[in-house]
Amino acid sequence: MKFVGVDFGINPFAITSDGRKFHINRLPDIFYAHEYSSSVVGAFAEFTGTSQDDVSNLKDIGRLHQITKVQAEVLRPIISDLIEHLTGFDVIALEDIQIEGMHFEHEMRMLGFPDNVNIIYEESLQRGKKVHLVEMKGTSRECSHCGNPVRNEKGKEKPIKLNLFRCQNEGCPLSQYWIDKDINAALNIRNKILSKYLNSDEILQFLGLA
């Protein structure tokens, strides 16, 4: 039984625990679509003297249309590649991304989160995979090998700014290396599901022990 964890972000858009990174090559196009739709609709409203309410409705429609179009063009192929990659696994653990109040909430919304996670979830289920959503808590702040909180150079627990980190538990094998923080997060997401399956009937059956 093969397990995989998926961590989501802006760019890379997704990182899998087996080390694959899914990049958005046309990220500026998506951000531009948002700016463009607001400015065009704004200018139109001014020119026609449309009321405030109509402007905001129009803005929403215009924005939605433009964004949906760009998302479909830019994001859909990446989402499809990711789903294709995930078919190589039996159990898929997806980061249950909660964007409210997130530092990059606006950008994440522009990229279609959290809907993207639902799309990947549903399509993987349709392909006969076992899919789980994993709480984000701790996944980017803990060492995927020993669970020790990752600390910055001042020894304080805090979000990791660099792309690399090193476990500071001297007894942990990972303390010898700098590791990629996104892959570490994807491994943590995978591990959370792995531990649920360890003593399950499913694993015992798979191993021929039950």
Judge residue 139's burial from the number of C-beta atoms within 10 Å of its C-beta, 0-12 exposed, 13-18 middle, 19 or more buried. buried
List the beta bridge partners of residue 164. Answer: 180
List the one residue out of 67, 45, 64 whose CA is nearest residue 55. 45
Q: Which two tokens stand for residue 181?
A: 């923080």
Q: How far apart are CB 145 and Zn ion at their closest, in Å? A: 4
Work out the angle at residue 123's Cα, subtended by the Cα atoms of residues 107 and 82, and round it to the nearest 5 degrees: 55
Nearer to Zn ion, 60 or 157 (CB): 157
Residue whose CB is less far from Zn ion, 128 or 171: 171
Neighbours of 100 (CB within 10 A): 8
DSSP state of 156: -
**Would you say 4 or 174 has its CB closer to Zn ion?**
174
Q: What's the token pair of residue 92?
A: 């898929």
CB of 143 to Zn ion, least distance (A): 3
Contacting residues for 81 by C-beta, under 8 A, at least 6 apart: 22
- Residue 62: CB minimum distance to Zn ion, A: 49
Length of the chain: 210
Residues that bind Zn ion (CB under 5 A): 143, 145-146, 148, 167, 169, 172, 174
- Residue 146: name the closest of 186, 188, 198 by CA: 188
For residues 170 and 180, what is the distance between their CA atoms, to the nearest angstrom?
18
CB of 169 to Zn ion, least distance (A): 5
Least gap, CB of 30 to Zn ion (angstroms): 36
Please identify, using beta-carbon distances, which residue of 66 and 188 lies nearer to Zn ion: 188
Considering the complex, state which of residue 124 and residue 184 has its C-beta at the smaller distance from Zn ion: 184
Least distance from Zn ion to the Cβ atom of residue 204, Å: 29
Nearest to Zn ion of 164, 210 (CB atom): 164
